[in-house]
A = this chain, B = another copy of it.
Amino acid sequence: MRLSQFHLATVKEVPADAEIASHRLMLRAGMIRRLASGLYTWSPLGLRVLRKVENIVREEMNRAGAIEMLMPSIQPKELWEETGRWEKFGGQLLKIKDRKQQEFCYGPTHEEVVTDFARNELKSYKQLPVNFYQIQTKFRDEIRPRFGVMRAREFLMKDAYSFHLTQESLAETYAAMYQAYVRIFTRLGLTFRAVQADTGAIGGNASHEFQVLADSGEDAIAFSDGSDYAANLEKAEALPPTLARPAAGAALQRVDTPTQKTIGDVAAFLQVSPRQCVKTLLVRGSDGLVALCLRGDHEINEVKAGKLAELPGESILASEEEILAACGTRPGFIGPVGLPDSIPLIVDRDAAVLADFVCGGNADGTHWTGANWDRDARIGRTADLRNVVEGDLSPDGKGVLHIARGIEVGHVFQLGQKYAQALDATVIDDQGKAQLMTMGCYGIGVSRIVAAAIEQRHDDAGILWPEAMAPWRVAVCVINPKNASAAVNEAAEALYQSLNRRGIETVLDDRGLRPGGMFADMELIGIPHRVVVSERGLAAGTLEYRAREESESRALSEDELFALLG
């Protein structure tokens, strides 16, 4: 492509509400333009990148035996009523009435439509397993769209749905999809982790998220340095402590902590480590308040807490009023010693092996020191209640955990029979009996990957595309082409054509910009390789080459350049 024949429109200023790097850089590079809240036009430059991602996803889905199809974006209400999601899906479902007042929605996902397709198309177990996918525009009416295409309302998604007679067959396709996803994100050139994910309210048996690592990621991920264990923080198990609880050594003593309410304040005031403190949270149980105790340096894991039998499926902190009414003291001074017997007590396994610890005094402005389980406080039962932290042992016994932040770009999920049951999607088995199908679903946020890649790979000058995602791999630049000699222009043209002939996607910057503006544009839009053709270089028989990730140019012969670009 000659840039003079393309539409490149980089901009200097971006709106103040572009909070994250990818949003700012996509606007500055002119990859996207905002049409309305959460709605973006992909410019020619942006679309080139989007299509690269789309094509790699398609190739690997095909290689894994999935079959592409295309479902409508507009879906009838009746199907969503069959699964109960017309009401349950919530405000993200964009509901629409047509001219005849029939109700529809703009599909945020396609379980209903694909299961309806399957119940009509699939009659016999001989047609199974089958894995249908599409790459298609979806809409979720986010209450607060932001971060550009990272959390847009209209977005491009690859969604696949597999159908099976048995759980074993589902597990096979699930594994194949997992491997396909590994190939996709590897080919895209991204640093990612496949993490065990909580299956949450959707139910189902197994689920992995594919997370692109980036400091700005919304999700925290725990991964081992000694194995390929990786899990969402909400899912990662904290192993039980290996050491038993020491014997009590100190005497229980009440101390005044008139203004110290946080663990940090109390520990500093008493000159102990937060590790030596117990913090107590009161949450709403299914049958009155429940107390949860953790070590002072640990954080509650709300997903784990929500699964406790004593809780109603979620973990909600009690209000100050509730705490006052139940314990006679304010939050900040609650502790296991002297806690009313009516309140069930559940202790994190790490907090349960403390001895001589500090905890709230169950009276305003006081704490206990030298507290010990059993001697001073009933311990109730123990459980894994906390988030894992950097340095915890990996649950698989290999290595220690590190914590990173990630952006979810893919999700594989063993759905089971939830949708097949709701829509009565059956096939005839080899005994001639109707059997509900078992399903898996596999999503990739195609447009989100573009933003996630930028979050992971950028610097002050702009984007650092992996080669597979770059709009072009190479930019051939001519300094001041209108004043350059014919020889320079011809050499640039020849190089441009020669690279493209070798299958190396190359753009010729023939716009006639000054070097400063031209180089800034090529860095901003993240072209991995830049080659400058100049009089001086031509005389010396060299090209001025610079990799986007390097700070210095180097002189290369044409053969060296071809060798470097493969």
Q: Which residues of A approach B to under 8 Å, CB–CB? A: 5-7, 9, 30, 33, 35-37, 39-44, 46-47, 50, 65, 67-76, 91, 94, 96, 98-99, 102, 104, 106, 113, 116-117, 120-121, 127, 130, 132, 137, 139, 141, 143, 153-154
Contacts of A117 in B (CB 8 A): 33, 41
For A112, give the chain B residue with the smallest CB separation. B35
| Complex: A67 Cα to B70 Cα, angstroms | 25
| Pair B94/A70 contact, Cβ less than 8 Å | no
A154 vs B137: C-alpha distance in the bound complex, in angstroms? Answer: 13
Residue of B nearest to A114 (CB): B41
- For residue A143, which residues in chain B have a CB less than 8 angstroms away from its CB? 99
Please, which residues of chain B bring their CB within 8 A of the CB of A137?
73, 137
A47 to B46, CA, bound (A): 25
The main secondary structure of chain A at its interface with chain B is mixed
Contact of A5 with B132 in the complex, beta carbons under 8 Å: no
A214 to B480, CA, bound (A): 56
B41 touches A72 (CB 8 A): yes
- CB neighbours of A102 from chain B (8 A): 36-37
Contact in complex: A44, B132 (CB < 8 Å) = yes
Expressed in whole angstroms, the Cα–Cα distance for A5 and B40 within the complex equals: 38
List B contacts of A39 (CB < 8 A): 72, 74-76
With contacts A41-B70, A65-B5, A117-B41 taken as known, whether A98 is within 8 angstroms of B35 at the C-beta atoms is no
* B73 pairs with A113, CB closer than 8 A: no
What is the CB-to-nearest-CB distance from A46 to chain B, in angstroms, rounded to a whole number?
Answer: 8
A68 to B130, CA, bound (A): 33
The answer to whether B74 touches A154 (Cβ under 8 A) is yes
How many Å lie between the Cα of A516 and that of B47 in the bound state?
47
Q: Is the CB of A47 within 8 A of B68?
A: yes
A73 B33 Cβ-Cβ under 8 A: no
The answer to whether B91 touches A41, judged by C-beta atoms less than 8 angstroms apart, is: no
Residues of B within 8 A of A41 (CB): 69-72, 113, 117
Residues of B within 8 A of A43 (CB): 69, 121
Sample of 15 A–B contacts (CB below 8 Å): A6-B67, A7-B121, A9-B121, A33-B120, A35-B113, A41-B72, A41-B117, A42-B69, A42-B71, A44-B132, A47-B69, A73-B154, A74-B106, A98-B153, A137-B137
Question: Given A41-B113, A67-B44, A76 and B6 touching (CB < 8 A)?
Answer: no
Q: A43-B69, A132-B7 are in contact. Are A74 and B121 (CB under 8 A)?
A: no
